[in-house]
Amino acid sequence: MPKSQVYSLGALNLKVSPFLHKDGELIRALNVERDMIGAWKKRPGYVTYLGTPDNAQVNSLFSWRQNDGTTVYTYRYSGSVLYYSTQGTGAWTVCGNGTLTNGAYIGNGVLDNVMIIGDGTAATRHTTTGTNFTNTTSAPLAQHFAEYQGRIWAARGTGVSGTATDIIYSTVGTASDWTTDSSSVRIPRAGRVNSLFKSSDRLVAGKDSGLVYRWDGFNLVDLATDLAPTSAQSIGVVEDFRIYLNHKGGFGYGGGRPEILSNAIERQIYNDLGSAIAGTTFDNAPATIHRYDWLCSVGTITDDLTSETIPNAILKYDYQLDEWVNWRFNNRPTAFHSYRDLNGDDQLIFGDAGGQCYQLSGTATTDNTASIETVLEGVLTGGAPEVDKKTNFFYVFTNPGCEAKFQIAISDAFTKPKKNWIDLKQLSDGVMEARVPTNTRGKLLFWKVYEASRNARLHLYGFTWDWEAVGT
């Protein structure tokens, strides 16, 4: 009798036909992260981060580590008010002169220990203290900022009326003077500038028409592409490599041309049923890089392969391993931020529509007391999808004490209504040996590990499938 040993569990792959999958590749991967290469574990949960100074949606989160090396401020913008927290532990406090445009997104930049902020409509402001802001009267009304060649560069963004086709720079060495030695560079052709960042010692400007331009201080280069970020809030950076969302997928930029990263999950970004990311979501989807993972909140999506719906979906890309899974938080993120606290620990925080912020915690097994649903699903053919098979045993290896279940569905069709899931056993012992009912046979075997507890986290190391061909 053949035995298929599946101890190299892959990642989410909706691009390659499941009939071409290697054993262990996944068609569903919800709320998991890598334990080690070849194995998965349930993601950590989160707890509340500080209080709720208002009940307005959190639209921006950012931080500023000052040059003294001992002061860190975290900031939230909700409603029309900017708040700060000292060291990320002090209570949210209203910033002096911190009222801007209601419901806007705030961009920021830092130069020579001065931070500048703006939403593109209200007056641009700067601070040296981190707690009180001064109107930068000579600066443009801008929403996107980047430090480049000893200046702050600004783009007006979507909040201002009329055209916004210039990127403007401050006087060299200062973020508060935009008159003495300030000028601008015109970004030509259709659309307004809606993103601005530095990469490979070049300034990169994206337009809402998709155009991308690169500036080196002397030459403006048209990258001849329409793959600019659709949402400036989606841009994350790791090792000087930018990752962001576009209508055509998740893209990376390292100094040359944008490159597609999201082939494996293309059906979740757009599909024939129109059930992937909603069009308006692309304009303001929030994201961040936490350690080596890009996390982007995209709302409710349904891919047209599995027909499974994910509310509050988060696209998670592992930069190190070049692989994708889905997360889903109980509270949909409206703003993301990752920062390093004074203890040297990387912290992931996010805000929601109700005005509460949360912090990912390696010790939390719930989403602020709500259970975390975890799903891993794949399909096995035994290398012969045309042959009926009788499954005899499964041997599944997990961490002792987990509360997951192992389920199978035997079918001749790759459609959701044809999957009649059968519970085999719980996986709490660490090694599960289960006999499959003798009256089950079919050409395809779908397997699923499912867990929705509030307690121990699942670690799945792999399994062995014992089967035999029938009627050959």
Q: Return d(Cα 358, Cα 76) in angstroms, integer.
A: 12
Residue 161 confidence (pLDDT): 44
Residue 260 confidence (pLDDT): 98
- The size of the chain, in residues, is 472
Estimate to the nearest angstrom the gap between the alpha carbon of 261 and the chain centroid. Answer: 13
**Measured over all CA atoms, what is the biggest interatomic distance in the chain, rounded to whole angstroms?**
86
Percentage of the chain lying above the pLDDT 90 cut? 86
Q: Which strands make up the sheet holding 81-86, listed edge to edge? A: 58-65, 72-78, 81-86, 93-99
Residue 362 confidence (pLDDT): 92
| Phi, psi (deg, nearest 5) at residue 235 | -80, 120
Residue 160 confidence (pLDDT): 46
Burial letters 246-256, b for 16+ CB under 10 A, else e: bebbbbbbeee
Strand (E) positions, 124-182? 125-127, 134-135, 144-148, 151-155, 166-169
Query: Is 0.85 topped by the overall pTM?
Result: yes
**DSSP structure string for 372-414:** --EEEEEEE-TT-TTS-EEEEEEEEEE-TT---EEEEEEESS-
- Asked if the model's pLDDT at residue 21 lies above 90, the reply is no
Indicate the burial class of 137 (C-beta count within 10 angstroms; 0-12, 13-18, 19 or more).
exposed
Q: Where are the domains of the chain?
A: 3-43+373-469, 100-228
The half-sphere exposure of 244 on its side-chain side, counting CA atoms within 13 A, is: 26
Q: Return d(Cα 415, Cα 55) in angstroms, integer.
A: 43
DSSP bridge pairs for 338 = 348
User: What mean pLDDT is reported for the chain?
Assistant: 94
Angle CA 419–465–372, to nearest 5:
55
Residue 436 confidence (pLDDT): 87
Domain 3-43+373-469 has CATH 2.60.120.680: yes
Cα dihedral 413→419→424→426 (10° resolution):
130
Residue 150 confidence (pLDDT): 97
- Asked if the model's pLDDT at residue 159 lies above 80, the reply is no
Residue 435 confidence (pLDDT): 87
Tally Cβ neighbours within 10 Å of residue 462.
18
Q: How far is CA 153 from CA 107, 244, 331, in A?
A: 12, 20, 35
- Asked if the model's pLDDT at residue 391 lies above 60, the reply is yes
The confidence band for 163, taking pLDDT boundaries of 50, 70 and 90, is low
Indicate the burial class of 272 (C-beta count within 10 angstroms; 0-12, 13-18, 19 or more).
exposed
Least confident of 31-45, 171-185, 270-284, 408-422: 408-422
Instruction: For residue range 406-449, list pLDDT tens digits in order.
Output: 999 998 888 888 888 999 989 999 999 988 887 778 899 999 99
Residue 437 confidence (pLDDT): 80
The half-sphere exposure of 379 on its side-chain side, counting CA atoms within 13 A, is: 26
Tokens coding 466: 């014992």
CATH topology classification for 100-228: Neuraminidase (2.120.10)
Q: Return d(Cα 157, Cα 153) in angstroms, integer.
A: 12
| Phi, psi (deg, nearest 5) at residue 68 | -70, -15
DSSP bridge pairs for 74 = 63, 85
Q: How far is CA 8 from CA 22, 36, 293, 409, 463, in A?
A: 9, 10, 21, 21, 9
Residue 162 confidence (pLDDT): 44
Contact in structure between 123 and 160 (CB atoms under 8 Å): no
Cα dihedral 335→67→124→241 (10° resolution):
-50
Instruction: For residue range 91-150, list pLDDT tens digits in order.
Output: 999 999 999 999 999 999 999 999 999 999 999 999 999 999 999 999 999 999 999 999
Residue 459 confidence (pLDDT): 97
Instruction: For residue range 351-384, list pLDDT tens digits in order.
Output: 999 999 999 999 999 999 999 999 999 999 988 8
The confidence band for 472, taking pLDDT boundaries of 50, 70 and 90, is low
Instruction: For residue range 243-274, list pLDDT tens digits in order.
Output: 999 999 999 999 999 999 999 999 999 999 99
- Asked if the model's pLDDT at residue 471 lies above 80, the reply is no
Residue 425 confidence (pLDDT): 86
**DSSP structure string for 7-63:** -S---B--SS-GGGPPTT-BSEEESEEEEETTEEEEPPEEEE-S--S-SS-EEEEEE
- Asked if the model's pLDDT at residue 27 lies above 50, the reply is yes
Estimate to the nearest angstrom the gap between the alpha carbon of 144 and the chain centroid. Answer: 20
Instruction: For residue range 189-232, list pLDDT tens digits in order.
Output: 999 999 999 999 999 999 999 999 999 999 999 999 999 999 99
